[in-house]
Chains A and B, each alone.
Chain A
């Protein structure tokens, strides 16, 4: 063996030693807390092997405001504005769920007109929230802001109607124990009529723009798949659960505010991937408009607020009331000790619990897919951290 052979062998050994570990050394990447795809202050610690996600661990709490502790020091009525700030993209649904829980504690009957108004605003809120969810989801898929701003147009008109009715656009504080704060203003119903007339064409435009879009299919089809069994076991709810094919919607399963009077379908997906979640939200917007049509046509007359004492002291007991918020099952668990403030105030946050399976959805996909998956779950960080 010559010296040059020795040198060559030594070099080969060095190269093998250098490359042996390459590709197997995992890299930890922090997504967030300040990252546009996290829709708030949310940090995801991703362990990567090349582009492939090996582990995903979430770190939350950046927006923790200890709502549940604060609520123990405030009266039942004073807590309603807090619920706006829990899920600030669906304040009406949060108001509604909390008021239903207090009404269950107090045993109050809500007048029919108040119930219809509540359904109207809960469904308008769903249209607005899904516009935000779908718009930002497509943003995460790479269609930079054009579809988002088309959908924001629709959301803007809903927020205008909120402003017209209660003076606020995001943190509405509109529902009250026993009804709603104000009756509908005169110009609301004509505005809503125009909105209902315009929306089918807008939705048809979005569908023409997006449903056949090859890039959207490539980014979202088969990404972040979860099986129905796993979804149920992980307590997922809302569009994330329905995209797996489970037709579980609290408006049908446990009707509140007279939802049993209205006719609507529960759209479900087939494959449980990101694209199905997007499709379910698109279909739900159409169903919400269908419900709104029926509410406007059958809006009863009468009082909009029940005769409830301002200083309510419920009997000792507990209540768990829930609604189908745009993100899933939103519940409020209240315990009363007979005092003026809740002894225990707990919000069951769909955004947090829908993240239970985020790790399982992300592992094995690429980093870019993990961002699309997170976008398709539609989280609101204010609700995760409370």
Chain B
């Protein structure tokens, strides 16, 4: 069974090599974004961490900042570690690229660049991947296509929980304007005479 590699132990390992490059917050390991490459190299090459396999690389937009999330796995010791880096510049976020350490980071960093607009400095081929060059904006940012009037992307609640979509009260049958059981035809139907509307 894959165990979780202890974040405190990982932070101690990184801080021994590079002082102050790692901290633990809420059980997750956060790395200093300027010294990310060296810190991840320590985790990859350290005998007791041995995190040689980059499972997953993605990002999350927390609106005030971005978090880039790395899942690193040791195949021999069978443990996994979640590593995060926080990017406070929401307009132009940038992070050093891990392509020098993991060949598998090439495509995943390009995907994050394409959909979040996070630059990975040192990436040899940082182009848009799914979308075309010149596509306006970065779709997975929360403010992409933000609607006027403070309407936010996402699902604020279940549909039946809002007042306008509340379940009908027992005994009433909701009727739509064009329902065939309506007693009178809808009033906005134009009267016609032949082909001409009158």
Size bracket, chain A contacts: 35 or more
With the chains together, A317 CA to B135 CA distance in Å?
Answer: 32
B71, CB-defined interface residue at 8 Å:
yes
Q: Choose among B52, B82, B107 the residue that contacts A233 (Cβ–Cβ < 8 A).
A: B52
| Residues of chain B within 8 A of A355, CB atoms compared | 107
B153, CB-defined interface residue at 8 Å:
yes
Asked if A233 meets B103 with Cβ closer than 8 Å, knowing A253-B2, A255-B1, A333-B69, the reply is yes
With the chains together, A235 CA to B70 CA distance in Å?
Answer: 12
Q: Choose among A72, A255, A260, A331 the residue that contacts B55 (Cβ–Cβ < 8 A).
A: A331
Q: Output the least CB separation between B165 and chain A (Å).
A: 13
Q: In this complex, which of A246, A341, A386 has the most chain B Cβ atoms within 10 angstroms of its Cβ?
A: A341
Across the interface, do A339 and B75 meet the contact criterion of CB distance under 8 Å?
A: no
Across the interface, do B53 and A232 meet the contact criterion of CB distance under 8 Å?
A: yes
Asked if A356 meets B53 with Cβ closer than 8 Å, knowing A69-B140, A232-B75, A254-B1, the reply is no
| Residues of chain A within 8 A of B60, CB atoms compared | 335, 343-344
With the chains together, A331 CA to B156 CA distance in Å?
Answer: 26
Q: Output the least CB separation between B87 and chain A (Å).
A: 15
B106, CB-defined interface residue at 8 Å:
yes
| Residues of chain B within 8 A of A246, CB atoms compared | 75
Within A57-102, the residues touching B (CB, 8 Å) are 60-61, 64, 66, 68-69, 72-75
A39, CB-defined interface residue at 8 Å:
no
| Residues of chain B within 8 A of A217, CB atoms compared | none
Q: Choose among B1, B55, B158 the residue that contacts A235 (Cβ–Cβ < 8 A).
A: B55
| Residues of chain A within 8 A of B106, CB atoms compared | 356
Across the interface, do A68 and B140 meet the contact criterion of CB distance under 8 Å?
A: yes
Across the interface, do B104 and A339 meet the contact criterion of CB distance under 8 Å?
A: no
| Residues of chain A within 8 A of B105, CB atoms compared | 235
B194, CB-defined interface residue at 8 Å:
no
| Residues of chain A within 8 A of B129, CB atoms compared | 60-61
With the chains together, A21 CA to B23 CA distance in Å?
Answer: 58
Contact mask for chain B residues 154-171; partner A; CB cutoff 8 A; 1 contact, 0 none = 111110000000000000
With the chains together, A303 CA to B11 CA distance in Å?
Answer: 44
A385, CB-defined interface residue at 8 Å:
yes
| Prevailing SS type, chain B contact patch | loop
Asked if A72 meets B130 with Cβ closer than 8 Å, knowing A234-B104, A235-B104, A356-B104, the reply is no
Q: How many residues of B are in contact with the other chain, CB < 8 A?
A: 37
Across the interface, do B107 and A352 meet the contact criterion of CB distance under 8 Å?
A: yes
Closest A residue by C-beta to B139 = A69
Across the interface, do A311 and B158 meet the contact criterion of CB distance under 8 Å?
A: yes
Closest B residue by C-beta to A236 = B104
With the chains together, A114 CA to B2 CA distance in Å?
Answer: 23
Closest A residue by C-beta to B128 = A61
B58, CB-defined interface residue at 8 Å:
yes
Within A315-333, the residues touching B (CB, 8 Å) are 320, 322, 329, 331, 333
Q: Output the least CB separation between B159 and chain A (Å).
A: 9
| Residues of chain A within 8 A of B55, CB atoms compared | 235, 322, 329, 331, 348
| Residues of chain B within 8 A of A357, CB atoms compared | 103
A248, CB-defined interface residue at 8 Å:
yes
Q: Output the least CB separation between A46 and chain B (Å).
A: 16
Q: Output the least CB separation between B59 and chain A (Å).
A: 9
Across the interface, do A64 and B131 meet the contact criterion of CB distance under 8 Å?
A: yes
Beyond known contacts A61-B129, A331-B56, A339-B154: 10 more, CB 8 A cutoff: A68-B115, A69-B139, A73-B154, A234-B103, A235-B55, A253-B2, A320-B82, A333-B58, A333-B71, A339-B157
Interface residues of B (CB under 8 A from A): 1-2, 52-56, 58, 60-61, 69, 71, 75, 78, 82, 102-108, 111, 115, 129-132, 139-140, 144, 153-158
5 contacts between A and B (CB under 8 A): A233-B104, A341-B155, A346-B58, A348-B56, A355-B107
Interface residues of A (CB under 8 A from B): 60-61, 64, 66, 68-69, 72-75, 230, 232-236, 246, 248, 253-255, 260, 311, 320, 322, 329, 331, 333, 335, 339-341, 343-344, 346, 348, 352-353, 355-357, 385-386
